Chain A
Amino acid sequence: MGLPILNRRPDSGLGNIRRSGGDPSRNIDWTMLATVGLLAIIGAFAVYSATFWKVTGDPYWFTLRQVLFLIVAVVVVVAVMAFDYTFLNERAFFLYGCALVALVLVLSVGALRGGARLSFDLGPILFQPAEFAKPAVVIVLAAYFSELREETVSYSKFIGGLVLVGVPTVLIIAQPDLGSAFVIIIGALAILLMAGAKLRYLALITVLTVMTVAAAVVAGIVDRYQLRRIEAFLNQNSNDEDLKNLVLQVRFAKRAVATGGWWGKGYLDSPLTNGKFIPVQQSDFIFSAIAEQFGLIGGAVVLGLFGLLLFRIWRVANLSKDLFGTYLCTGIFGIILWHVFQNIGMTMGIMPVTGVPLPFVSYGGSSLVAFAIMVGLVESVHMRRLR
């Protein structure tokens, strides 16, 4: 099964005779890295265009920080690539435990912003543990299911996985950060699907998620503001005063995308992006800035780069020498896919608004580093597939 091209073994040809073809440093997926690099560069420019007016006297305030985050991210990618990912297989639960502790801590001592405790305030930066819970959950699930030799997942095994996903998810819903919770669920669903879980198990997870969210709403953890986002999504043309800001945010974002035309209105020459119309455009609505300034072509390039990135990740899942690597890549594939779909989807009004950033492009250090870790892991799988 499978297309031959996808199953093709890498060239182990002659090349450098002193080092084997299986040497990890010779098996770096440069295409993936280049794709990520391009996205990050586009992101930095987009962030500048959406923020240069924000801080009086310092148009580069946001951009400079984003570039610093990128440098950190590069270091992180290199560091993670250097590690053998199988090393994580044994320490998966330790990492997972750390993530849980961070999630619990953030609920009590996290910085309160807009009624939610999403992050630790570490002076100059805000650290969001939910971002790091994403790779942690993927790693622990991959490790948990890779022990399995059968082609299908037993019910007991499934319940174990469910607990592993459920605990951090509930903690994140409690923050409340529904967007990140859904991301983790999607990543887990991808791994479960891959591991051979029955469809009803997947349905059960979906039902449980809905129930948890419902419970959180009833318990008052998910406040009216989050609900109004859903309401605003369902009534995108509403004139309701309560929904006005939410409706307008999406409406302006849609307009920004819609009015870009083929080639866009030009960099720094776009009334919506450069005119303070769209709140938090530099993080959640960065795609609208790109689409308005660079048009359909620009939007298609970004989408295409994500498509290429995801294809490369999917390919690594296929090439992995062990199940752990496959599951790892599958989970990361699901997470990034969902980030892209959720983020661009909400910008264009086909998904409700949640605070999910566009990977590598949106402004924000925590998510950038978290995605750097994920890319590094995938690269690590790719580099060591021949050993």
Chain B
Amino acid sequence: MRTDRRQSRLGVIGVIGALLFSVLGLRMWFLQVVDAPSLEQKVQANKTRTVRLLPERGRIFDREGRILADNERVLSITIDWNVMRDSQDRAELFARLAPVLDMSSTEMEDRYAGPIGADGRRAGSRYSPLLPMPVKEGVGEDVALYLIERNEDFPGVDVANGWNRQYPYAPLAAHVVGYLGAITKEEATQYRDLGYDLNERVGQFGVEKIYEPYLRGTPGYVKYEVDSRGVILSELERVEPIPGNDLQLALDLDIQQYAEQALETQLRLRRFVETCQAKDENKLPVKPQFPECQNLKAPAGSVVVMNHSNGEIIALASYPTFDNRWFNAGISGDKFAQIFPKTEDPDKSILVNRAIQGQYNLGSSFKPFVAYAALDAGQLPGGVAYKYFDQGSYTLTSIDEDTCQVVKCVFRNALCGGGNSPCFYGVVTVEDALAVSSDTFFYKIGEQIFSERGGQPILQEEVRKFGFGSKTGIDLPYESAGRVPDKDSKRQLVEDGVLMEGESPNYLVGDNVQLSVGQGLLAATPIQLAQAYGAMANGGAVNRPLVALALLAPGTPDSSVSGVADLSQSEVVLKLNTTNTIRTIEFPAEYRDAIVRGLQRVITGPGVDSDRYHATTGERLFASYPYEALPIAGKTGTAQGAASLPWNDSSAFAAFSLDPFQPYTVSAYLEKSGYGSKAAAPVTKCVFMALADAVKTPPVVPSDPLDLNSTMVAPDRSLPSNRCLGGAAYGGRD
């Protein structure tokens, strides 16, 4: 060193060095002591990757073990999001994957960023950012193996095990079994809270929806240690998924298939029937603004078969039906819209279970409950012995003559014997009135139970006991409650503009008269009809109808027969068909006997003698029914439709077995299919014959694979022999 000044400068440099070192030391100290606790966790989070293992969904069996819903193991290819961040890397990877997966890079890009919207921008991926992105589902084992072996060439590409839902007997019981679908936007929060991934498929209809939590099972996961590129280094933790519970339904597929075939066959037959308007004195149509004659449309219908001793649903058919395999077929949106067209016409709706969602007038099939109401409310002097003189028409007595100039005061029976005069049944008891379906008998009840009780809703309260106007609680989604009209509901209907203009918002005596014969504002579902008839059959117990019998432990083995599980090796986890009586109606034997006898005579006769012999509404049809094998009692009903035109008549029938060892109740409802005795009653007859083993039901076999080129929502099906539908029908409206 030469001078002190240079030395002091060297000192300055030394100080600068010391300062810089202090900075480094401080920073290291700071990182270690201050930041470390929070950073430590991130290290743990960053070096692991969790892959969800989806459980096998529970299978669904009928009561005999036939597999209505099964699972097929499928392999899908996924890509880790991290390796796709960089657009160049992604394009390169997609280009390499394209020939292997036999799909275009564009499709993959659509999955990555969402399809290009109307504004030219991509909508964002619909796949969970927390799980690897599925790029293709249902690949073959060879493709999966090819990719696994070349892991170095396809970084971040992985093979995931998944499940594809199968419906081996589709379209059998499609409305009951339901289908799986994507989680909708509205459901997203709910399912996320339940721990679902938003790209899982969930039950969207039928028991698949109702028993979703049980069927789904519990997902497992496997935790891998990964490096920053997402390459798996080791497996840290593995929790196997727990498969979902299997579900045994009460359905008997033999009866289910037969009921579906009978319903479809009958609807198709009814379309050949031409109906004509009534004529006036000059032989001209009563309603000249409408065509004189028209074929029945017979577009839709439903059948319910229920065990009325415990509420088990043996069969539940709804037409038009669908093949629920379409929902897992991986078809395009356009194709789907072609198969399931959007329609405003309720006659054509497919994805609606008419047995529990259809809200209908019941016509005369409602009369047994009105009869009970009258007896129970003491409306009939002398009770079951009460005699009424049926002159063919009934004039309201509670309305003065002046008013009767304006409103309808005279109500007639149905026309008799092809003539223009209403039927005349003479002196009838409750039993007779039910047997021949005397309207005037019930008009009188309908008027007096209202006018003599100060307008109180006595009739409504009585019929509500049977379950009308409230949901039955069946374990199927989207059930309708129906409506027993009263003051409030009528005002509501007028306010909502549902009723015709000029309709009074007050509940009038005329409304009650209509209600007494099951017309007017009454709305009931076929399942309610079956439930109510079942209560009539079993002496007053209103049972909750149940489609499911039991939840079984997962993994019920298959039996030696294809498509059938071995239920003898199953283990019941939760019995579902217990404590199912909603309410027990007080039902004196005297009343019940009178009503049941009336309904029994509907099937067997005899009718009544007045001016001539009037047969009961079902007497001739059921002449070919093996009554001794399975005695039944039932009631026809014809619900009048728009403008009371004959081709708008809907056909209802409900009947129950009188044999305590075969406690079945059947209800059938065929929309716009004509009289109750002509459309619904034959279907019911067929079903009872099947239940009585009086006809040979066709064997239930797994269906052919779904033809993806087809545009039919479900194949046409019909009874092997429609003989059971035949029989001389009653000629009049019932």
Contact = CB atoms under 8 A, between A and B. Distances in A.
Interface in B1-52: 1-14, 16-17, 20-21, 23-25, 27-29, 31-32, 35-36, 39-40, 42-43, 46-47
A333 B3 CA distance: 20
Interface string A334-347: 10010011001100
Contact of B31 (A2, A196, A348): A348
Interface string B295-323: 00000000000000000000000000000
B17 A314 contact: yes
A1 interface: yes
B28 A348 contact: yes
Interface stretch (B97-105, B226-234, B443-451, B684-692): B226-234
A322 to B, nearest CB: 8
Interface stretch (A35-43, A110-118, A172-180, A271-279): A271-279
B47 A300 contact: no
A276 B229 contact: yes
A2 B4 contact: yes
Residue from B5, B9, B10, B233 whose CB has the most chain A CB atoms within 10 Å: B10
B85 interface: yes
Nearest to A295: B32
Contacts of A271: 43, 47
A2 to B, nearest CB: 5
Given A255-B39, A258-B39, A334 B13 contact: yes
A271 B228 CA distance: 11
Interface string A316-358: 0111100100100010011001001100110011100000000
Chain B interface main SS type: helix
Contact of B6 (A248, A311, A326): A326
Nearest to B86: A241
A241 B225 CA distance: 23
B27 A300 contact: no
A299 interface: yes
What's the interface size class on B, roughly? Answer: 35 or more
Contacts of A255: 39, 42-43
A341 B27 CA distance: 11
Interface string A119-157: 000000000000000000000000000000001000000
Interface in A1-30: 1-2, 7
A244 interface: yes
Contact of A257 (B6, B28, B227, B228): B28
B524 to A, nearest CB: 59
B237 to A, nearest CB: 15
Given A307-B21, A314-B13, A314-B17, A194 B6 contact: yes
B32 A193 contact: no
Contacts of A349: 27
A337 B225 CA distance: 39
Contact of B39 (A254, A295, A334): A254
A97 B378 CA distance: 126
A266 B534 CA distance: 77
A252 interface: yes
Residue from B5, B27, B86 whose CB has the most chain A CB atoms within 10 Å: B27
B23 A318 contact: no
A127 B12 CA distance: 35
A259 B39 CA distance: 7
A161 interface: no
Contacts of B225: 275
B233 A275 contact: yes
A319 B6 CA distance: 12
A310 interface: yes
A277 B36 contact: no
A276 B227 contact: yes
A193 B12 contact: yes
A291 interface: yes
Nearest to A341: B20
Contacts of A258: 31-32, 35-36, 39-40
A296 interface: yes
Given A307-B21, A344-B24, A257 B31 contact: yes
Contacts of B233: 275
Contacts of B25: 300, 303
A275 B233 CA distance: 8
A66 to B, nearest CB: 23
Contacts of B231: 276
Contacts of B228: 248, 252, 276-279
Interface string A225-263: 000000000000000010010001000101101111110
A190 interface: yes
Interface string B690-728: 000000000000000000000000000000000000000
Contacts of B5: 151, 196
Contacts of B229: 276
Contacts of A151: 3, 5-6
Given A194-B9, A259-B43, A314-B10, A254 B31 contact: yes
Given A248-B228, A337-B20, A330 B40 contact: no
26 contacts: A1-B4, A2-B4, A151-B3, A151-B6, A248-B228, A255-B43, A257-B28, A259-B39, A259-B40, A260-B32, A261-B36, A272-B43, A277-B47, A277-B227, A291-B28, A296-B28, A296-B32, A306-B21, A310-B17, A318-B10, A334-B13, A337-B20, A340-B20, A341-B20, A341-B23, A345-B23
Query: What 10 pairs between A and B have smallest CB-CB spacing?
Result: A276-B227, A258-B31, A1-B4, A341-B20, A258-B36, A277-B228, A258-B39, A348-B27, A255-B39, A258-B35
